[in-house]
Amino acid sequence: MNHPLCREMLAEKIIVILRGLRREIALPACEALAGEELRFLEVPLNTPGALETIALLAKHFRGTEVHIGAGTVLTPAAVEEVARVGGEYIISPNTSPAVIRRTVELGLLSLPGFQTPTEAFTAIDAGADLLKAFPCGTPENIRVLKSVVPLPIFAVGGIDRSNRDAFLASADGLGVGIGIFRPEMSVEELRRSARNFLA
């Protein structure tokens, strides 16, 4: 947990997963989220035009408190592409030591996914900064994992307003997708959704 962004990410606690974000609304959508004080925004690489969108957002928010990263990063080559366009952190659904090592080499924050203690310690040995329990299961599952896993854990998968508090009582942070963002939302609908989640 050496990356300078770690402390800020843990303080903010929420990463918004923007799967399916359309490039034409990317800036106003992310400005709306930033206006609701959501400052960690993830564009999954399986979103069409993801690298172009990350480049656009990274340039727009450079030097601000809003941080843009990539999700669903599966290869070291993809890490390099994200670094090239200005992404600040790498989130994966799985534990890939090669991806983690390349992320750390390029100075980006590494947040890989895991399900078991074996995967967690494999990620830690490779240099991960934080960990993502995915799919996270239940709050009790997170509590059990945290009894042996020394790095902070973000819970991801099925988080919404109804279970937010239960997961925040056991996890160190949350990755939230459709609990806040759906690609068919207008900017105003997204703003209301973010406000409702944070209420």
Read off the tokens for 187: 């900017």
Residues labelled catalytic: 42, 132
Q: Domains, the chain, ranges and CATH?
A: 5-198 (3.20.20.70)
Place 136 in a pLDDT band, splitting at 50, 70 and 90: very high
Q: What is the dihedral of CA 191, 181, 82, 145, to 10 degrees?
A: 120
The reported pLDDT for the residue numbered 2 is: 80
pLDDT at 90 over 80: yes
Cα–Cα distance measured from residue 116 to residue 161, given in angstroms and rounded to the nearest whole number: 26
Cα–Cα distance measured from residue 94 to residue 126, given in angstroms and rounded to the nearest whole number: 13
- Mean pLDDT (whole number) for 108-115: 98
- Mean pLDDT (whole number) for 104-128: 98
- Mean pLDDT (whole number) for 9-37: 97
The reported pLDDT for the residue numbered 111 is: 98
Place 134 in a pLDDT band, splitting at 50, 70 and 90: very high
**pLDDT tens digits, one per residue of 33-56:** 999 999 999 999 999 999 999 999
| Mean per-residue pLDDT over the chain, rounded | 97
Cβ burial 73-89 (10 Å sphere, 16+ → b, else e) = beebebbebbbebbbbb
- Mean pLDDT (whole number) for 133-145: 96
In this structure, which amino acid lies at residue 148?
A: V
- Mean pLDDT (whole number) for 20-40: 97
The three-class DSSP label of residue 19 is coil
**pLDDT tens digits, one per residue of 57-84:** 999 999 999 999 999 999 999 999 999 9
The reported pLDDT for the residue numbered 1 is: 64
